């Protein structure tokens, strides 16, 4: 009953909320189910942390996430196989239009340093962090580290606000309180478009703000009931031209810019080169000095997804 | 001026009419009994008198003012009702009795004094610390009485004050009611089924039936009639219509001559004149061969028309101009050796004649 | 702050905020519940039905509505309450007041009407009589308070939306549990749940013994 | 074998001991009165007899078996209690009365027949569709009685069965109790404060006081002692001790000669023999100058000892060997022109003599 | 499926799932509540206090615990209930059973003990007597059902964690409201809230009139 409704197979996918909330997955689902009438896709949207946990517990057949460090851990523990990067976009540092710390046009690192200085000097809350171990939060930690600051230490300083909430609420808080925060582009654009927030995107499109989404199938030798064939079929669809097209065009009508950029061709063709480098740099796994989208030992079966 | 005045009061509950067009005045210091069969409306009237129930129609006046708003609150403060079924707060006996006093803001030392007095009066002083709801039926009723007594109200409304009470309790409570009437001129209204209690405790009685006021008058007279009516309601005999004529006055009761048809005249104790219905209890009639000169006012000559023997009881029908039924014992019949057609005298007291 | 200190401070904050919310709901809901339970009037049934309907207001929805109300552009934005403990208190109070009213009115209704009459005839004012009925239905009122406090301390939606789960300010037990859960820190989440449940059992033990005291005291 | 047997039963409620070491046997078909002051433990005993309360110590046996488990359920099925305070389900009168029948799985046509019968018996047939809790006190008590009557139990436990009832209701209920005793051999246990009711309705009486059984014995004897204790605490008149001798049998009632002290013998209708207490109601006595040959069994010669005039009522004390008090009207006094020291005859019917 | 059809199907699903949950809670909680309300026994106070404490179980926490239980690696994983409506029903039933028990036992306790004695003396079994007491406390039972159903239909945590908000399978009104809210579709969220509240008012109206019928019927 759990895995079949009538004749249909169910593919359970754990996904991060920020990805699910954009709605792109619903668009993919609709198209995929049309061409695969015997399959039903079900998305479990939860925080990255719990999503990985669910997969480890055997409650999902694949995951869609955007936290390379955590992904690697997941795979190293033997839970995930056949990782495929399928999309990317950029995080943005957003803040009030008054921009008290003058971060507009700075690089992310500079911006964070300015925020740090301003916050300390004025002894006022200035930065709100999701602090929830989500992909976005993981990115933020990396950015602070790049700016030369210890996340755990600044975390307790008065200018640093921990919202412990999802992206939407965190944006609302930033909006209400006039704070800076790091946001995924999708939620930000959506909230701007709905008129919910008046924050400006101040720092964007930097290498360090890169956000990479990947799909990982659950290891069916570890989690025996995981439906790896179904998962791989869907992964193949995502990285197919049709899937990439849907991802790339999603949101074009509503927002002026797309929410996601297809990543498959960028990696395959290594062009545009800067982006391809950034992606490899940021989201590929370094095994013995070589960068892999998916380390060889975690490639299962012959699905023809790796060149 | 009447203390409480009901003017054409009607009380309806969804489907039933509990009271219909009741007008009644209660004077300060008077005592009134409400009598009548179950469901007559006694409790309903008491609740209206106590300001606990608003009539569906008609007026309630307290000291001349319409009982609503502040006047209603004053009425409730001065009139206290003891309910038919004991009702108690879920706390100790002491606190139950103290309630009415504390509501009135009495200082605590006076409260405790009066609570203990009131409890003592109903012989419940040892129960002060008991949970009131765990008491026996009679004990609860006593506490309810103590609660009313303790606040020493101007108007005491008692709904079957001695139901559940044992003999001693009844005596104590009746004694107390008489005493407060005399000593403090408390106005007392009592609903009761004990007609003798009504006579003992009240001067005036009101008879209710089916929500209507049938009669109001001096208790002793009204109750006597009621007693008789009740006792003989199952033996519909010796009931006659007649015309009562003004007679000699004896204190409050009048000795009145009543002409029944066929030139039969009897004497009865009543205030009523004009057309009346009389009933003579068959058990009160003495049958004799010779006329009797006695304290009995009525002696009539007649002829035995019928003798019905029923077990040990004999029912004699004597034609004295009207057919009177007398009930005698079988051995009396044998002793007097009476037979149908014999001439006899029937004798009964004036007080044995009930006039309606 | 160590994790232990953090947990203690979150717990205290939860208790304070939900305590005030339950208090507020009691202050508002109890008289209304008493009134609805004591009086028969036209439209009473309608009110009851709506109050009971409001018991099913989802916390996410209430949180959203309150967010819109308190947000800077909202009608009450000028109060600058959003993301403050006060907003949380108000939100939780709104959430639990229907529960307070429903349970109170139901139990008050079941107290024999003769208790009211008894009080009145002994000279109590209408208010005093209502107080007597209240005393008699104390068990129900205590349940109402317990249920209200429980609902307040266990709700999440309002705390997230109008509280914002701000560390050190509006982070309470439920938002922490939710946060630890999304973080995948399941054991910590369960630990916090145990803290919450133990606290609430203790609270109910206290309430239970308080009930006896209060009953005693109300009769003083 | 006793039907219900209490062996050394003790009942404690937190602080109070309601019953202490009660041993009592109730035989099939017998009738027992429980009498005693408020709080004596009457209700508690009834509840134990009905299987509604387990004693804290001691045994309850039903048909010889310990009343617990299935035996207890059987006891509850056969014994039905009518509570002191009316208790009703919050539904219509009809459904209240039908409850016990439906519980027993009677087909619906029989249910309706028996419900209407039972309601008719307490004169409540018009109330079938009324909400039971909205009835007056007496109406509720009637419904409670109907509920018990309808199921025709083997054992009927009645806690003050006629409290709240009006005179007619009382009479009906008493009549019914006598009838089921005779016709169906129902075992009846009645707790009551009305000692005369106890005599009327039961053969055996148990006196409780403070939770202890003081006395058990034939009702007439026990109650006589109780009545005396009460009456002599009061200034009741015309109460005498005497010895009743077997007399002639007249149907079911016996005409019995009773010797009162000082060689005065009167006749009364009673079954009792041996030591008795008699009371002659002062209002039933006729005073005359000449002896009366009449249906009245008792005519005694005497001398007027005292005349107390009180309003229109005159209280004559006549020494006929014993001091008899008669109440006559003022005008009778005038008519007979009686004075202290005059010789007169007093006459009263055998049925006017109450024997306890 | 159009948005309207989608809303209708989500609404029906919400009603069905929470209806079953409330039914399950009633079937389990009502007898327990009756028992606790009728009997005095040692340890009864302890049970009551724990049951009341459980009323404050946050839905996130319960969701988490149930997730761990139903997860493939969990003790009941073999049942394969996770992310099914059945899991949701069970979860919501667990959530509201303490409410059911608390309100039922409180109102049953307030029914005069003489009602039980009356039934027994008229020949009812202990069960029959309990049924009589139940009839007399019908108002409280109805409140308990209303409160339970409300709590079930308005909860979010369990629906998210063990239901998973799967479109067409376990997506209910609250998860939709939460989803639309986080997606920034605030008007849709509010619309769904209004749908929910209206439904619940209607439900309470029906329950109210059902109460009268049931009372009548119970006496047949
Ligand atoms: N709340 C009510 N709803 C409907 N009918 C009622 C209500 N209260 C009283 N009645 C009806 O009104 C009539 C009068 O009731 P009331 O209680 O005044 O009688 P009562 O004279 O006190 O009788 P009792 O001697 O039995 O106590 C009764 O027929 C009763 O059924
Ligand atoms: N539940 C209880 N808790 C504590 N004490 C009780 C309880 N029930 C009865 N009692 C006490 O037990 C004693 C006997 O009570 P019971 O009701 O048997 O008296 P009763 O003879 O029926 O009196 P009454 O004539 O007043 O009805 C009383 O003193 C009473 O206070
Ligand atoms: Mg009455
Ligand atoms: Mg008793």
Q: Are C91 and C81 in contact (CB under 8 A)?
A: no
Task: Determine whether the interchain pair D38/B255 forms a contact, defined as Cβ–Cβ distance below 8 Å.
Answer: no
Candidates C112, C121, C215; nearest CB to B80: C121
Is ligand 1 within 6 A of the CB of residue B192? no
What does the alpha-carbon distance between residue E174 and residue D160 come to, in Å, rounded to a whole number? 60
Q: What ipTM was estimated for this complex?
A: 0.80
Q: Distances in Å between the alpha carbon of B153 and those of B5, B149, D36, D276?
A: 18, 7, 32, 45
**Domains delineated in chain D:** 4-228 (3.40.50.300), 233-355 (2.40.50.100)
What does the alpha-carbon distance between residue C136 and residue C219 come to, in Å, rounded to a whole number? 11
Dig out the tokens for C71 from the structure: 């947000």
- CA-D135 nearest atom, ligand 1: 31
Report the range out of C89-98, C110-119, C202-211 with the highest average pLDDT.
C89-98
Q: Which residues contact ligand 2 via a Cβ below 6 A? A: B 134-139, 164; D 13, 16, 18, 36, 38-44, 84
Architecture of domain E3-218 in CATH? Orthogonal Bundle (1.10)
Chain C residue closest in CA terms to A128: C166
- The structure tokens 């007979």 sit at D336
Cβ neighbors of B120 (< 8 A, separation 6 or more) are: none
- CA-B135 nearest atom, ligand 2: 31
Establish if E33 touches chain C: CB-CB under 8 angstroms: no
Neighbours of ion ligand 4 (CB under 5 A): B 136-137; D 43, 84
- The pick from D12, D18, D163, D193 for probing ligand 2's pocket by mutation, whose C-beta has the most ligand atoms within 8 angstroms, reads D18
Quickly state the pLDDT bin for B293 (edges 50, 70, 90). Answer: low
Is ligand 1 within 6 A of the CB of residue B39? yes
pLDDT tens per residue across span B133-188:
999 999 999 999 999 999 999 999 999 999 999 988 998 898 899 889 888 899 99
What does the alpha-carbon distance between residue D85 and residue D137 come to, in Å, rounded to a whole number? 9
Ligand 4 centroid to Cα of residue C35, in Å, is 36
Average pLDDT (B213-240) is 71
Q: Are D130 and D92 in contact (CB under 8 A)?
A: yes
Residue D135 vs residue A22, higher pLDDT: D135
Q: Chains near C, with 3+ CB pairs < 8 A?
A: A, B, E
What's A120's DSSP letter?
Answer: H
Establish if E97 touches chain C: CB-CB under 8 angstroms: no
What does the alpha-carbon distance between residue A306 and residue B265 come to, in Å, rounded to a whole number? 133
The pLDDT value given to residue B14: 84
Is ligand 1 within 6 A of the CB of residue D137? yes
Is ligand 1 within 6 A of the CB of residue B256? no
Q: Are B205 and B217 in contact (CB under 8 A)?
A: yes
Question: Which of these, E80, E102, E89, E56, lies nearest to E158 by C-alpha position?
Answer: E89
How far off is chain C from E49, nearest CA to CA, in Å?
6
> CB-side exposure of D157: number of CA atoms within 13 Å?
25
Question: Which of these, A53, A12, A20, A65, lies nearest to E169 by C-alpha position?
Answer: A12
Upstream peptide bond of A272 is cis (omega within 30 degrees of 0): yes
Quickly state the pLDDT bin for B251 (edges 50, 70, 90). Answer: very low
Chain C residue closest in CA terms to B46: C121
What does the alpha-carbon distance between residue B139 and residue D38 come to, in Å, rounded to a whole number? 6
How far off is chain E from A57, nearest CA to CA, in Å?
5
How far off is chain B from C135, nearest CA to CA, in Å?
9
Q: Distances in Å between the alpha carbon of D90 and those of A23, C103, C110, E208?
A: 57, 21, 12, 17
Which residue's C-alpha comes closest to atom 25 of ligand 1? Answer: B38
Cβ neighbors of B27 (< 8 A, separation 6 or more) are: B2, B3, B187
Candidates E77, E83, E185; nearest CB to A12: E83
- Between helices E3-38 and E186-218, what is the axis angle to 10°? 40
pLDDT tens per residue across span A152-161:
899 888 899 9
Candidates C176, C178, C184; nearest CB to A133: C184
pLDDT in tens, chain D (356 residues): 789 999 999 999 988 899 999 999 999 999 999 999 999 999 999 999 999 999 999 999 999 999 988 999 999 999 999 999 999 999 999 999 999 999 999 999 999 999 999 999 999 999 999 999 999 999 999 999 999 999 999 999 999 999 999 988 888 898 899 889 888 899 999 999 988 788 889 999 999 999 999 989 998 788 767 765 654 444 457 778 788 876 555 444 567 788 887 678 888 877 777 777 787 877 778 888 877 767 777 888 888 888 876 555 677 888 888 888 887 766 667 667 777 788 888 888 877 787 76
Average pLDDT, chain B: 85
What does the alpha-carbon distance between residue D226 and residue B171 come to, in Å, rounded to a whole number? 15
- CA-D42 nearest atom, ligand 2: 21
Give SS3 for A183.
strand
Q: Distances in Å between the alpha carbon of D86 and those of B38, D144, D159, E130?
A: 14, 6, 10, 20
What does the alpha-carbon distance between residue D220 and residue D202 come to, in Å, rounded to a whole number? 9
Average pLDDT (B31-42) is 94
Instruction: Give the phi and the psi of residue E74 in degrees, each rounded to 5.
Output: -80, 170
Task: Determine whether the interchain pair A168/E165 forms a contact, defined as Cβ–Cβ distance below 8 Å.
Answer: no
Establish if E81 touches chain A: CB-CB under 8 angstroms: yes
Sequence spans of domains, chain E: 3-218
- E189 interaction partners in chain C (CB closer than 8 Å): 60-61, 64
Task: Determine whether the interchain pair D151/E112 forms a contact, defined as Cβ–Cβ distance below 8 Å.
Answer: no
Q: Are D148 and D81 in contact (CB under 8 A)?
A: yes
Ligand 1 centroid to Cα of residue B212, in Å, is 13
Give SS3 for B24.
strand
Quickly state the pLDDT bin for C215 (edges 50, 70, 90). Answer: confident
**Residue E3 backbone zone (phi > 0: left; psi -120 to 50: alpha; other: beta):** alpha
**Residue D186 backbone zone (phi > 0: left; psi -120 to 50: alpha; other: beta):** beta
pLDDT in tens, chain E (220 residues): 678 888 899 999 999 999 999 999 999 999 999 999 988 888 898 999 999 999 989 998 899 899 889 988 889 988 888 888 999 999 999 999 999 999 999 999 888 789 999 999 999 998 899 999 988 899 999 999 999 999 999 999 899 888 888 888 889 999 999 888 888 888 888 999 999 999 999 999 998 888 878 777 776 6
Q: Are D349 and B281 in contact (CB under 8 A)?
A: no
Asked if the model's pLDDT at residue A2 lies above 70, the reply is no
Q: Are E125 and E33 in contact (CB under 8 A)?
A: no
Q: What is the pTM of this model?
A: 0.81
- D158 interaction partners in chain E (CB closer than 8 Å): none
Task: Determine whether the interchain pair B89/C132 forms a contact, defined as Cβ–Cβ distance below 8 Å.
Answer: yes
Instruction: Return the sign of the alpha-carbon dihedral for residues D79, D83, D86, D88.
Output: negative
- What is the 3-class SS of E20-55, one letter each residue? HHHHHHHHHHHHHHHHHHHCCCCCHHHHHHHHHHHC
Using DSSP bridges, classify how beta strands B79-82 and A290-292 pair: parallel, antiparallel or unpaired.
unpaired
Task: Determine whether the interchain pair E103/C143 forms a contact, defined as Cβ–Cβ distance below 8 Å.
Answer: yes
Asked if the model's pLDDT at residue B254 lies above 80, the reply is no
Asked if the model's pLDDT at residue B237 lies above 80, the reply is no
Establish if C179 touches chain A: CB-CB under 8 angstroms: yes
Ligand 4 centroid to Cα of residue E94, in Å, is 46
How far off is chain E from D90, nearest CA to CA, in Å?
7
Task: Determine whether the interchain pair D87/E114 forms a contact, defined as Cβ–Cβ distance below 8 Å.
Answer: yes
Q: Chains near A, with 3+ CB pairs < 8 A?
A: C, E
Largest CA distance in chain A: 64
> CB-side exposure of A262: number of CA atoms within 13 Å?
19
Chain B residue closest in CA terms to D327: B295
- E118 interaction partners in chain D (CB closer than 8 Å): 83, 87-89
pLDDT tens per residue across span E166-213:
888 889 999 999 888 888 888 888 999 999 999 999 999 998 888 878
- The structure tokens 């309003």 sit at D311
What does the alpha-carbon distance between residue D215 and residue D207 come to, in Å, rounded to a whole number? 5
Quickly state the pLDDT bin for B253 (edges 50, 70, 90). Answer: low
Is ligand 1 within 6 A of the CB of residue D136? yes
Residues β-bridged to residue D208: D213
Q: Are B305 and B324 in contact (CB under 8 A)?
A: no
Task: Determine whether the interchain pair D293/B293 forms a contact, defined as Cβ–Cβ distance below 8 Å.
Answer: no
The pLDDT value given to residue D14: 84
H-only helix segments in B66-203 = 70-78, 93-103, 108-121, 137-150, 167-184, 195-201
Question: Which of these, E165, D236, E181, lies nearest to C66 by C-alpha position?
Answer: E181
Task: Determine whether the interchain pair C117/B92 forms a contact, defined as Cβ–Cβ distance below 8 Å.
Answer: no
Quickly state the pLDDT bin for A1 (edges 50, 70, 90). Answer: very low
Task: Determine whether the interchain pair A194/E186 forms a contact, defined as Cβ–Cβ distance below 8 Å.
Answer: yes
Instruction: Give the phi and the psi of residue C132 in degrees, each rounded to 5.
Output: -65, -45
What does the alpha-carbon distance between residue C79 and residue C76 come to, in Å, rounded to a whole number? 6
Q: Are A84 and A92 in contact (CB under 8 A)?
A: no
Cβ neighbors of A206 (< 8 A, separation 6 or more) are: A90, A107, A108
Q: Are A99 and A130 in contact (CB under 8 A)?
A: no
What does the alpha-carbon distance between residue A263 and residue A272 come to, in Å, rounded to a whole number? 11
How far off is chain C from B195, nearest CA to CA, in Å?
26
What does the alpha-carbon distance between residue B89 and residue B76 come to, in Å, rounded to a whole number? 18
Chain E residue closest in CA terms to C53: E201
The DSSP line for D242-295 is EEEEEEEEETTEEEEEEEETTTEEEEEE-S--EEEEEEE-GGG-EEESS---BS
Asked if the model's pLDDT at residue B312 lies above 60, the reply is no
Task: Determine whether the interchain pair C204/E153 forms a contact, defined as Cβ–Cβ distance below 8 Å.
Answer: no
Task: Determine whether the interchain pair C118/B89 forms a contact, defined as Cβ–Cβ distance below 8 Å.
Answer: yes
Which residue's C-alpha comes closest to atom 27 of ligand 1? Answer: D137
pLDDT tens per residue across span A33-50:
999 989 988 888 877 788
Average pLDDT (C84-94) is 94
Q: Are C173 and C14 in contact (CB under 8 A)?
A: yes
Burial of E121 per CB tally in 10 Å (0-12, 13-18, 19+): buried
Average pLDDT (B96-115) is 93
* Residue E212: Cβ within 10 Å count: 10
What does the alpha-carbon distance between residue B215 and residue B35 come to, in Å, rounded to a whole number? 10
Burial of B138 per CB tally in 10 Å (0-12, 13-18, 19+): buried
Top residue of E6, E13, E63, E83 to mutate, by most chain A CBs within 10 Å, is E83
Residues β-bridged to residue B255: B248, B269
């Amino acid at each position: 009953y759990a895995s079949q409704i009538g004749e249909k197979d169910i593919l359970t996918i754990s996904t991060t909320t920020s990805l699910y909330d954009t709605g792109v997955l619903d668009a993919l689902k609709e198209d995929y189910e049309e061409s695969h009438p015997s399959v039903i896709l079900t998305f479990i949207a939860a925080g990255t942390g719990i999503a990985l946990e669910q997969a480890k517990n055997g409650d999902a057949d694949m995951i869609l996430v955007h936290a390379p460090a955590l992904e690697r851990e997941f795979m190293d523990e033997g839970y995930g196989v056949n990782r495929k990067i399928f999309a990317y976009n950029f995080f943005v540092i957003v803040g009030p239009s008054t921009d008290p710390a003058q971060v507009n046009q700075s690089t992310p690192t500079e911006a964070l340093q300015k925020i740090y200085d301003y916050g300390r000097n004025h002894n006022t809350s200035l930065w709100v962090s999701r602090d929830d171990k989500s992909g976005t939060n993981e990115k933020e930690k990396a950015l602070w580290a790049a700016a030369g600051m210890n996340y755990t230490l600044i975390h307790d300083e008065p200018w640093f606000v921990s919202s412990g909430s999802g992206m939407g609420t965190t944006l609302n808080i930033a909006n209400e309180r006039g704070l800076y925060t790091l946001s995924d582009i999708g939620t930000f654009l959506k909230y701007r478009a709905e008129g919910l927030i008046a924050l400006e995107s101040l720092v964007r499109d930097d290498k360090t703000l890169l956000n990479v989404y990947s799909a990982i199938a659950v290891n069916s030798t570890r989690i025996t009931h995981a439906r790896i064939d179904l998962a791989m079929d869907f992964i193949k669809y995502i990285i197919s031209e049709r899937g990439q097209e849907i991802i790339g065009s999603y949101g074009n009508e509503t927002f002026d810019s797309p929410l996601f950029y297809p990543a498959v061709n960028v990696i395959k063709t290594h062009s545009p080169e800067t982006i391809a480098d950034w992606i490899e740099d940021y989201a590929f796994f370094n095994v013995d000095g070589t960068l892999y989208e998916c380390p060889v030992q975690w490639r299962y079966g012959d699905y023809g997804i790796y060149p | 001026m009447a203390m409480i005045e009901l003017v054409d009061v009607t009380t309806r509950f969804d489907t039933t009419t509990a009271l219909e067009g009741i007008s009644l005045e209660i004077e300060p210091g008077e005592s009134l009994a409400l009598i009548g069969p179950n469901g007559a409306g006694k409790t309903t009237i008491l609740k209206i008198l106590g300001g606990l129930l608003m009539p569906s129609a008609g007026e309630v006046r307290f000291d001349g003012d319409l009982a609503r708003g502040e006047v209603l609150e004053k009425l409730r403060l001065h009139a206290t009702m003891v309910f038919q079924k004991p009702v108690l707060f879920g706390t100790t006996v002491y606190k139950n009795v103290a309630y009415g006093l504390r509501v009135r803001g009495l200082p605590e030392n006076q409260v405790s004094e009066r609570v203990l007095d009131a409890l003592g009066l109903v012989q419940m002083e040892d129960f002060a610390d008991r949970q009131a709801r765990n008491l026996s039926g009679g004990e609860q009723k006593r506490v309810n009485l103590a609660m009313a007594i303790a606040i020493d109200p101007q108007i005491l409304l008692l709904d079957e004050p001695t139901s559940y009470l044992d003999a001693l309790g009844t005596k104590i409570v009746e004694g107390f009611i008489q005493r407060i009437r005399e000593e403090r001129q408390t106005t007392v209204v009592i609903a009761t089924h004990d007609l003798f209690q009504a006579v003992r405790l009240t001067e005036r009685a009101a008879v209710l039936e089916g929500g209507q006021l049938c009669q109001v008058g001096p208790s002793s007279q009204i109750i006597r009639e009621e007693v008789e009516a009740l006792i003989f309601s199952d033996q519909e005999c010796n009931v006659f219509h007649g015309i009562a004529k003004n007679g000699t006055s004896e204190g409050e009761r009048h000795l009145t001559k009543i002409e029944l048809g066929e030139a039969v005249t009897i004497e009865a104790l009543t205030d009523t004149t004009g057309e009346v219905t009389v009933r003579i209890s068959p058990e009160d009639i003495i049958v004799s061969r010779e006329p009797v000169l006695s304290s009995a006012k009525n002696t009539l000559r007649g002829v035995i028309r019928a003798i019905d023997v029923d077990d040990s009881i004999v029912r004699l029908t004597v034609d004295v101009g009207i057919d009177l039924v007398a009930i005698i014992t079988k051995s009396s019949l044998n002793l007097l050796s009476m037979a149908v057609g014999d001439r006899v005298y029937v004798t009964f007291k004036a007080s044995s004649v009930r006039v309606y | 702050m160590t994790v232990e200190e953090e947990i203690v401070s979150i717990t205290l904050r939860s208790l304070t905020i939900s305590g005030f919310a339950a208090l507020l709901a009691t202050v508002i809901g109890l008289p209304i519940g008493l009134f609805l339970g004591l009086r028969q009037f036209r439209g009473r049934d309608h009110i009851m039905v709506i109050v009971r309907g409001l018991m099913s207001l989802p916390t996410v929805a209430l949180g959203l509505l309150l967010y819109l109300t308190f947000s800077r552009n909202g009608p009450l934005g000028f109060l600058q309450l959003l993301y403050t403990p006060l907003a949380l208190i108000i939100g939780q109070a709104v959430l639990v007041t229907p529960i307070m009213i429903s349970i109170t009115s139901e139990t008050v209704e079941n107290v024999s009407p003769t208790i009211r009459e008894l009080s009145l005839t002994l000279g109590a004012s209408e208010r005093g009589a209502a107080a007597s009925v209240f005393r008699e239905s104390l068990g129900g009122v205590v349940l109402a308070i317990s249920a209200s406090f429980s609902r307040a301390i266990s709700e999440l939606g309002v705390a997230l939306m109008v509280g914002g789960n701000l560390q050190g300010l509006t982070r309470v037990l439920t938002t922490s549990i939710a946060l630890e859960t999304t973080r995948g820190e399941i054991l910590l989440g369960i630990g916090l749940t145990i803290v919450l449940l133990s606290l609430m059992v203790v609270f109910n033990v206290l309430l239970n013994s308080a009930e006896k005291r209060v009953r005693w005291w109300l009769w003083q």
